[in-house]
Chain A
Amino acid sequence: MTRNLLIAAGVMLAALAPVAVQSAGQGSRSPQDLFADRCAYCHEAGDWGTRVLARRVPDGEAELLKRSSLPAAYTAAVVRRGIGAMPQFTPTELTDEEIAALADWLDPAKR
């Protein structure tokens, strides 16, 4: 049975090779790539996360990359636990190491 299933899968896959669409923690991704993949949909200019933050942070600092202060430890905690309307990220979306790299990259004190 297992062999037959594999043959069937082989026939199906002949047209196009399957593509893994994300690495799920495998391999290394730069903080810039992580930001683009995981954060930018909400945290670029005009997006909803930026609009929500505009109500809470000093003028001109609603975009994460424009913050005058964004301690890495705070970012790491927020990403894993969520805050306000922002849901949290699981370790299969961002590993601890990836979050640490991302948080360091976003921290003006560490840039």
Chain B
Amino acid sequence: MSVLPPGLTQETFDEALDEFRAAIGADWVFTSDNDRASYLDPFDIGDQDDHASSAALAPAGMEDCRKILAIANRYKVPLWPISMGKNLAYGTAAPEMRGSVILDLKRMNRVIELDEEMGTAVVEPGVSFFDFKAELDRRQSGLWMSGPAHSWGSVIGNALEHGVGYTPYGQHVENICGLEVMLADGSLVRTGLGALDGTREWQAYRWPFGPGLDGLFTQSNFAIVTKMGLWLMPEPEGMAGVSIRIPRREDFHALVETLRPLRMKDVINAPYTIANGWRQITGGRVRTDVWEGPGAISQERMEELLAERDQGWWSVIFNLFDSPAGLDLRLEKIRKAFGENIPQATIDVRRWEQGQPQEAWMRQEVSLAPLGAVDWGGSPGGHSDFGPIVAPLGDRAEEVYSIIERRFIEYGKDPWVGIFGINSRALIFVADMYFTRTDAEETERCRRLFRQLCDDMQAIGVGLYRTHLRFMDDAAAMHSWGDHALPRLNNRIKAALDPNGILAPGKQGIGSWEVSE
């Protein structure tokens, strides 16, 4: 079945496709149903066809990109740039606007530079975490990668989407240092000190003379990012894997208050993950193994399952990175803080020192393990994540958590909540809605739940860190201060840089939130 870009006739689109074929080679213009289907979102929270593409293009490099942009501008063909296209749970490779043409950058897959002395790299969009780890290993690098939960995605794509990892470099967007971007008119710009001919400092410092623009090109549709500089962590002398069990629901406030100063004083020097009870009961099971009743798994049943495995109502895991003596000091402070604030907590610690074989808890090996949970609620499964950004203050975190838990149960969904202490001053909640993709009632209920939570969060001034394609306009519209001054500014920047609106229309609601509002 043919899908067309909005506003184009079949005849005009065919002409544009012929021009794309002439520009980059017919082998790299994909139009068959089978090929287009491979760019659908397999975990969509509704009908995949709502976000179907009309074709896909795979440029070999910059010149191909420039030619594609010229043609797209002429025909007003919307392009949806992807890197690895594995933004699972947030849309995968699919475009926000139905009928967009996928601009698949996977062929641009070079590790351009790896600087052992500076601890920096420059990569292209098609470098996945699998690829990057393999390249670090091949070169016997002394630098470590910070990878996300699953390794299939692109190093660039994950950082641009504000993805997270589990090392001191785990807030990936903050380790971007210098971008090369191609604007909609085909012009190429290097941000930061990359703007100087012959620079040696492009990856050394983010702040050039004048405004720093790296952030402008993350979670946006202002340009195509063609190269990214990033900082890499030197291999640590040692690591400690800390796992803490907190027995009671009502200890959450104290837990948040205990962790904040430890993270702010850099005692805990990497992101931590808090999991509530429902999030801990999935391991090795499917939902029907433990619950057949209607609605969400009850708190009583969940607590029974926790007790079977001697798990706490809350779990906290994080890794510490330091010399063995430094780890001793950090662990002493952590034990003291928990001893004073939550004496009923149980703390387990594993250790590693440089030279020893790596173990799974260190999370340094590439993996696709999280995909194993997708079928938790039924097959074919999918999930979408609601991700508010919350100050790590006991009252505030409790307020947000309580709303999420209550709404999930109200909508008949298990409140499956993880909370990432991503930096010293922010928690990112990730409340997962697992659903059976073929169950139209369930996916519709999940969409309603998501939008209900958007309303709830907006009412208390809380925004989202990332959303599925379906909720980008909703999330953008939540930024209402000053008569939506920030989304309006984004629209103005978009109009100035991409007057034909050909780059990723609808991305993060830029250029589209007002319409849907």
Residues 1 to 44 of chain A near chain B (Cβ within 8 Å): 4-5, 7-8, 11-13, 15-16, 18-22, 24-25, 41-42
Tell which of A19, A24, A49, A88 touches B38, judged by Cβ atoms closer than 8 Å: A88
Residues of A within 8 A of B381 (CB): 84-85
Residues of B within 8 A of A85 (CB): 371-372, 374-375, 379-381
Contact, CB under 8 Å: A81 / B380:
no
Residues of B within 8 A of A89 (CB): 38
Residues of B within 8 A of A25 (CB): 107
Contact, CB under 8 Å: B126 / A24:
yes
- The stretch that binds B, out of A64-72, A90-98, A102-110, is A90-98
CB closest chain-A residue, reference B82 = A90
Bound CA–CA A25/B37 (angstroms): 18
> Which residues of A approach B to under 8 Å, CB–CB?
4-5, 7-8, 11-13, 15-16, 18-22, 24-25, 41-42, 47-49, 51-52, 55, 80-93
Bound CA–CA A42/B380 (angstroms): 17
Bound CA–CA A16/B86 (angstroms): 29
Residues 378 to 410 of chain B near chain A (Cβ within 8 Å): 379-381
Bound CA–CA A90/B115 (angstroms): 32
Contact, CB under 8 Å: A13 / B106:
no
- Verify if B9 is at the interface (C-beta below 8 Å from A): no
Bound CA–CA A81/B48 (angstroms): 12
Contact, CB under 8 Å: B122 / A90:
no
Ranked nearest first, the 9 interchain pairs of A and B with the lowest CB-CB distance are A48-B372, A21-B131, A85-B374, A18-B110, A92-B106, A24-B107, A90-B38, A87-B42, A18-B112
CB closest chain-A residue, reference B383 = A85
Smallest CB separation, A23 vs chain B (Å): 9
Contact, CB under 8 Å: B372 / A20:
no
Residues of A within 8 A of B40 (CB): 88
Smallest CB separation, A77 vs chain B (Å): 8
Contact, CB under 8 Å: A90 / B106:
yes
Residues of B within 8 A of A18 (CB): 110-113
**What 0/1 pattern do residues 88 to 125 of B give for CB contact below 8 A with A?**
10001100000000001011011111110000001000
Q: How many residues of B contact A (CB 8 A)?
A: 56
Bound CA–CA A5/B40 (angstroms): 37
Tell which of B107, B113, B134 touches A13, judged by Cβ atoms closer than 8 Å: B113
Bound CA–CA A7/B199 (angstroms): 10
Contact, CB under 8 Å: A84 / B379:
yes
Known: A21-B111, A21-B131, A80-B35. 4 other contacts (CB 8 A): A20-B109, A41-B366, A85-B372, A90-B104
Bound CA–CA A52/B134 (angstroms): 27
CB closest chain-A residue, reference B108 = A24
Decide: A90 near B56, CB < 8 A? Known: A7-B197, A8-B197, A84-B380. yes
Residues of B within 8 A of A82 (CB): 42
**What 0/1 pattern do residues 440 to 464 of B give for CB contact below 8 A with A?**
0000000000000000000000000
Contact, CB under 8 Å: A20 / B110:
yes
Residues 43 to 67 of chain B near chain A (Cβ within 8 Å): 43, 56, 58
Contact, CB under 8 Å: B39 / A21:
no
Tell which of B30, B93, B109 touches A22, judged by Cβ atoms closer than 8 Å: B109
Contact, CB under 8 Å: A4 / B93:
no
Residues of B within 8 A of A55 (CB): 286
- Verify if B202 is at the interface (C-beta below 8 Å from A): yes
- Verify if B135 is at the interface (C-beta below 8 Å from A): yes
- Verify if B367 is at the interface (C-beta below 8 Å from A): yes
Residues 175 to 189 of chain B near chain A (Cβ within 8 Å): 188
Contact, CB under 8 Å: A91 / B109:
no
Residues of B within 8 A of A42 (CB): 368, 371
Query: What are 13 contact pairs spanning A and B, CB under 8 A?
Result: A4-B197, A8-B190, A12-B202, A16-B115, A21-B126, A22-B131, A80-B34, A81-B38, A84-B375, A85-B374, A87-B42, A87-B43, A88-B40
